[in-house]
């Protein structure tokens, strides 16, 4: 018996399968916002075939999506492929896992909810999550174990692409850290500004979060570029690239 979990982001979609609490497979693919349910079903079948995963073992599915059109398409694709209803991650589905102290809980993104649930379960409370995706999201769980809000800023790749598009003399540069902060080439200068700049921006925001809370907290980094940025941060204490999938598993089990 396997649980299928899907995290649909604006840029990338992360898919995983669990047996119990063990993540047995995970895939990261580009999000194609125009894909239909049939195209998604074909993509899933191809991923399963490439890793020799038996789709017949899937007995449950949970979905986090920030792309409304794809929420419907993924729900239909899973229903067609497995004959299953998909549990959609939303604030109403996390009762008993985390409290929410937020004026309009229905506004909270599904990925933010899943991240917060997993972080509290794995790292205790208080805890802060930094999710490096299309946006850089910071989620705050206070010492009571309540999700109390967060910060949304342009993501690393979003900022980099804006720079490359507007500064026509700068070619696309690999998003890795240079050997030193003062670049000795255009590529190194860009890498320094993007990678070290993001790490310092996040650290500055986290210090403001701690000042508002009145105490510090463990900080967990997740998302596609977490491993690149986290090692240059002074405030990030943990890196967990599959945190959102873990949150989906916990939410599914709570509701099942």
* Cα dihedral 189, 191, 192, 197 sign: positive
Sign of the C-alpha dihedral computed for residues 199, 201, 205 and 210 taken in this order:
positive
Cis peptide before 224 (omega within 30 of 0): no
**Residues 15, 74: contact at Cβ < 8 Å?**
no
Write down the catalytic residue from 7, 111, 131, 142: 111
111 is catalytic: yes
Q: How many CA atoms lie within 13 A of 42 on its CB side?
A: 5
CB-neighbour burial class of residue 47 (10 A; exposed 0-12, middle 13-18, buried 19+): middle
**Residue 3, token pair as written in the block:** 């649980």
Query: Which of 107, 41, 114 is closest to 80 using CA atoms?
Result: 41
CB-CB contact of 15 with 6 (8 Å): yes
Q: C-alpha angle with apex 132: 219 to 187, nearest 5 degrees? A: 120
Q: What is the CA radius of gyration of the chain?
A: 19
Q: How far apart are the first and last CA of the chain?
A: 14
Q: Which residues are catalytic?
A: 111
């Amino acid at each position: 018996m396997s649980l299928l979990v899907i995290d649909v982001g604006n840029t990338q979609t992360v898919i995983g399968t669990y047996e119990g609490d063990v993540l047995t497979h995970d895939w990261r693919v580009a999000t194609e916002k125009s894909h239909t349910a049939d195209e998604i079903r074909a993509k899933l079948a191809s991923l399963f075939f490439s890793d020799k995963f038996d789709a017949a073992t899937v007995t449950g599915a949970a979905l986090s999506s920030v792309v409304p059109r794809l929420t419907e398409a993924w729900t239909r694709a899973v229903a067609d492929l497995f004959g299953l209803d998909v549990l959609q991650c939303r604030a109403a589905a996390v009762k008993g896992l985390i409290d929410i102290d937020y004026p309009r809980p229905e506004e909270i993104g599904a990925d933010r909810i899943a991240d917060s649930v997993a972080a509290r379960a794995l790292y205790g409370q208080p805890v802060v999550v930094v999710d490096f995706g299309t946006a850089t999201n910071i989620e705050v769980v206070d010492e009571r174990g309540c999700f109390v809000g967060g910060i949304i800023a342009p993501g690393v790749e979003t900022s980099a692409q804006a720079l490359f598009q507007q500064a026509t003399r700068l070619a696309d540069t690999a998003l890795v850290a240079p050997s030193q902060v003062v670049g000795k080439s255009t590529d190194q200068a860009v890498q320094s500004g993007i990678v070290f700049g993001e790490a310092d921006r996040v650290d500055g925001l986290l210090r403001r979060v701690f000042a508002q809370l009145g105490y510090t907290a463990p900080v967990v980094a997740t998302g596609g570029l977490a491993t690149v940025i986290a090692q240059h941060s002074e405030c990030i204490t943990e890196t967990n690239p599959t945190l959102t999938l873990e949150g989906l598993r916990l939410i599914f089990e709570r509701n099942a």
